Structure 1
Amino acid sequence: MAKIEAGKMSLTISYLPIRQVLHEITGLTADTANQKKLNMCLDIADDLPPIEADSLKVKQILYNLLSNAVKFTPDEGQIGVKTRHTETEIEIIIWDTGIGIAAENMEKIFEGFFRIETPYSRLTEGTGLGLPIAKSLVKLHGGEFVIESEGVNKGTSVRITLPIKQKSVAKHNENQNSCS
């Protein structure tokens, strides 16, 4: 978190088959979801294009968000992943029917080490860094991070958008001499 805040975090960009990554991350959380008898709804577009992104950081974002959905959804609830894309970006929505977030806590959840105090949250582990890190990593990729909840016990929806192609940071000198 300190590296991100100090502007010292860099991305290692590669082509990332995001559809495959989403199936991998949902597979990693499936056992815990099954133990809680959660219904996992996947609506991952078949034509989702690969993106230019930092593989490890995108996996961290998705794992944090999906594991939060599993963690904060009571037994027999629902969680889900939905995707869509345009020519320039992909959108991933991770949603749940869990404990939700009260309006007064919507901004606080992005403060490091903040955890909402509820009887349910005392049963779960965590540092309160998952959401702030995920949001910062999405922003570092040039994407958007939006979280919504209609309130306590009304579930949560996190929508992230990531560019399909990263903006080039290399500057080209148009006046370079060419050799013939």
Structure 2
Amino acid sequence: MKDIHDQAADMIRNRHLKVTLAVEDELYIKMDKTILKKIGDGLLKNANENTPDEGTIALRAGATTDDIFMDFRDYGIGISSENKKHIFKGFFHTQPTRHYSSKTPYAFNAGGTGTDLLRMRTYAERLGFKINFSSQCCRFIPGDAVACPGSVSLCTNITSEMDCMASGGSLFTVRFPKWGA
């Protein structure tokens, strides 16, 4: 997870984001490192592209009695209830393509093909781990006619980063059974 965090710092150096990291000591997941890296990179990229500048992304890894988990929480624009049903199907956009501003990976609202989440679902099915998510749309983005301005300080609906963090976002959790650890 530290490698993913360090890569995030490098990939978002042109963005104004805070990425926090909390990792328990001595976690070990028995899995091909390339696949584990693709999972982490894909979820981190997703979080970056959906979090406005001056926002926060929180990475966390730890263990429970039954599994080892990795959390990727963004305090961004969130996913609507309707779109939640389709998020792992691939080639699915969570917002109208006219809202995708840059098409540049790791930039806010870059947009994408949805293949990262489809790939993760396929890995989960084949390799025996779980990937779950919860999400709440930013309450200040009620429909397709309104878009996030892309920066916390440019949002006229809030007065602080804490207001932004409380208004929406997504949490993706990957859980690896301890038998695979």
TM (norm. structure 2) is 0.72
Higher relative contact order (CA 8 A, sep 6+): 2
Structure 1 pair 155/91, CA: closer, same or farther in 2 (3 Å)? Answer: same
1:57, distance to aligned residue in structure 2 (A)? 0.9
Contact in 2 for aligned 1:32/1:70 (Cα 8 Å): no
Give distance in 1, aligned partners of 2:12 and 2:179: 33
Deviations 1:96-126 (A, max 9, x none): 0111101110011122211122454343142
Q: Work out the CA distance in 2 between the residues paired with 1:147 and 1:121.
A: 22
Please tell me whether residue 95 in structure 1 is matched to residue 73 in structure 2. yes
The one-character-per-residue Cα deviations of 1:55-85 (angstroms, maximum 9, x if unpaired) are 1111101100011111111101000111221
Counterpart residue type for residue 82 of structure 1: R
Which of 32-41 and 104-113 deviates more?
32-41
Distance 2:111 2:74 in 1: 18
For 2:169, the equivalent position in structure 1 comes to 155
Aligned twin of 1:84: 62
Q: Partners of 2:53 and 2:13 in 1: how far apart? A: 9
1:58 aligns with 2:36: yes
5, 9, 17: which is aligned to 1:38? Answer: 17
TM-score (norm 1): 0.73
CA distance in 2, matches of 1:31, 1:130: 20
Structure 2: gaps of 5 or more residues? 103-109, 142-167
Instruction: Answer whether contact 1:135 1:145 (CA < 8 A) is retained.
Output: yes
AA at the equivalent of 1:126: G
Q: In the TM superposition, what is the alpha-carbon distance from 1:155 to its structure 2 partner?
A: 0.8
For 1:68, the equivalent position in structure 2 comes to 46
Structure 1 residue 87 displacement after superposition:
4.7
Percent identity at matched positions?
30
Partner of 2:158 in structure 1?
A: none
Name 1:121's counterpart in structure 2. Answer: 100
For the Cα contact (< 8 Å) 1:94–1:159, is it kept in 2? yes
Matched residue pairs, number?
A: 145
CA contact (8 A) 1:115 1:127 kept: yes
In angstroms, what is the RMSD of aligned CA positions?
Answer: 2.0
Equivalent residue for 1:166?
Answer: 180
Gaps of 5+ in 1: 1-21, 168-180
Q: Deviations over 1:123-150 (max 9, x none)?
A: 3142211111112212322111111112
Q: Distance in 2 between matches of 1:140 and 1:125?
A: 27
